[in-house]
Amino acid sequence: MQSLRIKVFLALFILLLIYPSSLLALKKEPPAKPQIPKTDANTKESAEDSPKLNSSIEQRIALVIGNSAYSSGPLKNPVNDAAAMAAQLQKLGFNVILKKNANLRGMEDALTDFGDRLKRGGVGLFFYAGHGIQIGGANYLVPIGARINREADIKYEALDAGKILDEMATANNGLNIVILDACRDNPYSRSFRNASRGLAIVSNAPVGTFISYSTSPGNVASDGDGHNSPYTEALLRYMKEPGLTIEQVFKGARAKLGKETGGKQIPWELSSLQGEFYFNQGKAVKRLEKATASKEEVKEDTSADMENEQRKIAEEREKLRQETEIFEQRKALAEEQRKLEEERKQLAMAQRPSVPTAKEIKRDGRFIAYNDGTVLDTRTNLMWAAKDNGSGINWANAKSYCENYRGGGYSDWRMPTQDELVGLYDGSKSYSVIQSNYNVHLTELIQLTACCPWTSETINSAALDFNFYRNDRGGFHQSSLLRALPVRSGK
């Protein structure tokens, strides 16, 4: 046994001397660790920094109001304008709150809802079509059902446009758009001393606000003969164009409207935007997608595309320059024409005697009596003498009496038409005439001494009259003795 061990030891010793690497190979090595692929820092950085298209467009919320069904001065198109604008905005990604023929409470509730939604961020847009009025430099939007008989009623019966900007400022959502197609001529400003034509320009809008008026300050916009107002129609045309910034949209609408109206209606904008906004991103998104493509694809495909794009931009720029040049020429002509008209008016004013300032002394519904012996019908804008001539008079002398009447210092008095006299009749009103034992039916602010005033209309040797006692249209021989009641168009 001992000799066997010695033999094995000698054999191993000899092998070690001859093949040392063989025995070292018998040493068990630890298992190899799995190789983890190294991350390329450059690749990771470029993936994170490469531009990405935002697949979710920022929240867009719009409040759209159109009021047409006014009891005084109804309009045809505002409801149509609001419906068309709401449909267009929905196609452009806006969540729309639409109100048609809204009363004051409905407008205020909708504005509150609009303001609450804006607090979530995104883009806010307010569109209004209907009557608007400027009182003392402040703008008011007139709701349906407003009871406005005096200038003081405006603050309580209409929506102060400043509330819209207050809601936007409170929301602090960053970008807001206000579109007011509310410069249409209205029936209220004619009878209010502090009312002005058109709307006032807002000077204290929060940063990030774009405000558009359908016409320039102090002017009125057309309601239009078509399905939409000319301003809304022009705006809808350019809002859907892809790749136009908000400034390009409204500039295009202004050029189109100015061309169609011969420079009489020029939309006005006020902006404190600090970035770019697109109603329809269109081409802008495609350009961004091309920018994220590989360098090889850009080298192969972009050169031709860029050349075409530059050529189109150059053509559009030249076309816009020509349109702008034509527009400026027409604007200059319109301004010259306006100056000539103003000079004619000033000359006419200088040639006629000054009219004393009348003071209001009494009201009866739509009628206002002044201390100069005149009564204004605010619905028809006709001014009447406060009383008739006081005695029987034939038609020819009645005509002469009316034309030579100088009540209130005015020189354009005339005989009324039969329809104008019919417009004074009010069955709910009644008072006894001075020289008879029957009652006539009209406002007490206009005093008649008999039932029947002459009209300006004649048939052969007869002339028409109107009977305020029987509500009857009639006629008498021109030699008959009736009454004369002068009337003129209020200005």
The model's confidence at residue 435, banded by pLDDT at 50, 70 and 90, is low
Mean pLDDT of 331-360: 80
The model's confidence at residue 158, banded by pLDDT at 50, 70 and 90, is very high
Amino acid 189: pLDDT: 58
Torsions phi, psi for 175 (to 5 deg): -140, 125
Contact 81, 72 (CB under 8 A): no
Residue 407 has pLDDT above 50, yes or no: yes
Residue 3 has pLDDT above 90, yes or no: no
Amino acid 39: pLDDT: 37
Q: Residue 173 to residues 167, 203, 456: CA-CA distances in angstroms?
A: 10, 20, 63
Q: Residue 388 to residues 401, 424, 447, 470, 475: CA-CA distances in angstroms?
A: 10, 14, 7, 18, 18
Mean pLDDT of 462-467: 95
Amino acid 222: pLDDT: 73
Higher pLDDT, residue 169 or 189: 169
Which residues are within 8 A (CB) of 1 and not within 5 positions of it... i.e. 6 or more apart?
Answer: none
Torsions phi, psi for 119 (to 5 deg): -65, -15
- 47-70 tens-digit pLDDT: 333 333 333 458 999 999 999 999
The model's confidence at residue 362, banded by pLDDT at 50, 70 and 90, is very high
- 22-39 tens-digit pLDDT: 444 444 444 444 443 343
In three-state form (DSSP H/G/I as H, E/B as E, the rest C), the secondary structure along 332-400 is: HHHHHHHHHHHHHHHHHHHHCCCCCCCCEEEEECCEEEECCCEEEECCCCEEEECECCCCCECHHHHHH
DSSP code per residue over 253-322: HHHHHHHHTTTS---EEEE---S--BSS-THHHHHHHHHTS-HHHIIIIIHHHHHHHHHHHHHHHHHHHH
- 280-316 tens-digit pLDDT: 987 655 555 555 555 555 555 677 788 888 988 999 9
Can you read off the two tokens belonging to residue 469? 């006692």
Asked which of 19-23, 125-129, 193-197 is least confident by mean pLDDT, the reply is 19-23
Residue with tokens 């209010």: 192
Asked which of 76-90, 183-197, 283-297 is least confident by mean pLDDT, the reply is 283-297
Q: Residue 250 to residues 93, 255, 269, 332: CA-CA distances in angstroms?
A: 19, 9, 8, 21
The model's confidence at residue 233, banded by pLDDT at 50, 70 and 90, is very high
Contact 374, 445 (CB under 8 A): no
The model's confidence at residue 45, banded by pLDDT at 50, 70 and 90, is very low
Residue with tokens 């068309």: 84
471 in helix, strand or coil?
Answer: coil
Q: How many whole angstroms separate alpha carbon 81 and alpha carbon 232? A: 6
Q: How many whole angstroms separate alpha carbon 316 and alpha carbon 257? A: 19
Higher pLDDT, residue 307 or 395: 395
Q: What is the mean pLDDT of the chain?
A: 83
Mean pLDDT of 92-118: 96
Higher pLDDT, residue 489 or 203: 489
Higher pLDDT, residue 425 or 184: 425
Residue 430 has pLDDT above 90, yes or no: yes
Burial class (CB within 10 angstroms; exposed 0-12, middle 13-18, buried 19+) of 323: middle
Q: CA-based angle 18:19:21, to the nearest 5?
A: 150
Q: How many whole angstroms separate alpha carbon 350 and alpha carbon 407? A: 20
Q: How many whole angstroms separate alpha carbon 379 and alpha carbon 24? A: 118
Amino acid 200: pLDDT: 72
Amino acid identity for residue 221 in this structure = A
The model's confidence at residue 17, banded by pLDDT at 50, 70 and 90, is low
Residue 460 has pLDDT above 70, yes or no: yes
- Delineate the domains of the chain, giving CATH numbers in brackets: 60-292+328-337 (3.40.50.1460), 360-489 (3.10.100)
Asked which of 9-23, 339-353, 468-482 is least confident by mean pLDDT, the reply is 9-23
* 69 half-sphere exposure, CB direction, 13 A CA radius: 7
